[in-house]
């Protein structure tokens, strides 16, 4: 099966290309600077020329705080880009797996968010991603919108890598302890997406629509940081001795973040037999890989 991965240099895109090749998919990859998802003509031409059976869109403007002052760019990448991709897929008669986010929710729900909960984003990033979902749904029936949360991986910038750096530089760190979520390893998410791709390829009865996928179990950023240091200290000598829990109010950011980012993943298990792993297990795997290959991963 030939698959086009858009956003191939991102955390998720990188794992999709690696995992896709391992599964024997013929992967075509697109990203900046050669390919710009905000250019409708370029998108139409590139998707058509790729000559694939499935498109996966992992490209996004993910700078949550910067998006507050770069609204036009966030909407161009996160709303207009997916619209161009989805309309190209419609013209070519091919399905699309599009990645979205927990930030489409405001975080005020008690308990995990399900796919049918109303979308109520707090900031520009969440609003632009919610608008992208609407475009995909509007243009294309054969779509999977996969919402994830708290993504980290080997490649690219993420919370785990920031903590690993700070843990070598500082004895005490103050980390937010009143936002709840589910850390998600990009390699696990890529595997879940590729498992769906396999099922599409096999021509089974696909229930198109919106699904949630994130690591199993819930923590706070403070809990996540503690586990990172706990596991990383098995590989490397860290300076950090103390993680001080702080509130969101004590760490002001330009974009407001959901207090509760927990996603209910039971639907993807029911329809695709995909079961997320415990987030701590995945983090241990990522750190093992990271310390084996650290010098090679940008």
The residues carrying an active-site annotation are: 125
Task: Give the residue with the Cβ less far from ligand NAP, 238 or 263.
Answer: 263
CB of 261 to ligand NAP, least distance (A): 9
Nearer to ligand NAP, 134 or 235 (CB): 134
Residue 150, sorted as left (phi over 0), alpha (psi -120 to 50) or beta, turns out to be left
78 DSSP assignment: I
Which of residues 30 and 238 has its CB atom nearest to ligand NAP in the complex? 30
Structure tokens at 6: 């858009």
Helix axes 81-92, 124-139, angle to 10 degrees: 10
Q: How far is the CB of 171 from ligand NAP (least distance, A)?
A: 27
3-class SS of residue 205: coil
8 A C-beta contact, residue 78 and residue 50: no
Minimum CB distance to ligand NAP, residue 201 (Å): 22
Neighbours of 202 (CB within 10 A): 9
Tokens 């999709």 correspond to 16
Residue 33: cis peptide before it, omega within 30 degrees of 0? yes
Residue nearest to ligand NAP (CB): 10
Least Å distance, CB 241 to ligand NAP, is 27
Q: 151 vs 238, which CB is nearer to ligand NAP? A: 151
Q: State the Cα–Cα distance between residues 187 and 285, nearest whole angstrom.
A: 10
Interface residues toward ligand NAP, by CB under 6 A = 7, 9-13, 31-32, 35-38, 58-62, 77, 99, 101-102, 129, 148-151, 156
């Amino acid at each position: 099966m030939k698959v086009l991965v858009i956003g191939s240099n991102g955390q998720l895109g990188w794992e999709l290309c690696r995992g896709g090749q391992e599964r024997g998919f013929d992967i075509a990859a697109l990203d900046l600077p050669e390919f710009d998802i905000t250019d409708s003509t370029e998108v139409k031409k590139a998707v058509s020329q790729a000559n694939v059976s499935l498109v996966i869109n992992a490209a996004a403007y993910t700078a949550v705080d910067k998006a507050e002052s770069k609204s036009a760019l966030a909407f161009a990448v996160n709303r207009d880009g997916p619209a161009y991709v989805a309309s190209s897929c419609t013209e070519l008669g091919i399905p699309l797996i599009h990645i979205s986010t927990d930030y489409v929710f405001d975080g005020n729900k008690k308990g995990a968010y399900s796919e049918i909960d109303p979308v109520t984003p707090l900031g520009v990033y969440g609003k632009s991603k919610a608008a992208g979902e609407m475009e995909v749904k509007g243009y294309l029936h054969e779509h999977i919108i996969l919402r994830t949360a708290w993504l980290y991986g080997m490649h690219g910038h993420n919370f785990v890598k920031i903590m690993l750096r700070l843990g070598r530089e500082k004895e005490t760190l103050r980390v937010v302890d009143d936002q709840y979520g589910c850390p998600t390893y990009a390699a696990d998410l890529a595997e879940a997406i590729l498992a769906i791709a396999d099922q599409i390829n096999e021509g089974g009865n696909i229930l198109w629509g919106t699904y949630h996928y994130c690591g199993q179990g819930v923590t706070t950023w403070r809990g996540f940081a503690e586990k990172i240091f706990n596991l990383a200290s098995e590989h490397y000598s860290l300076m950090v001795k103390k993680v001080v829990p702080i509130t969101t109010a004590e760490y002001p950011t330009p974009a407001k973040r959901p207090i509760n980012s927990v996603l209910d993943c039971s639907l993807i298990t029911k329809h695709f037999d995909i079961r997320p792993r415990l987030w701590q297990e995945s983090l241990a795997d990522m750190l093992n890989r990271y310390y084996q290959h650290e010098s090679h991963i940008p």
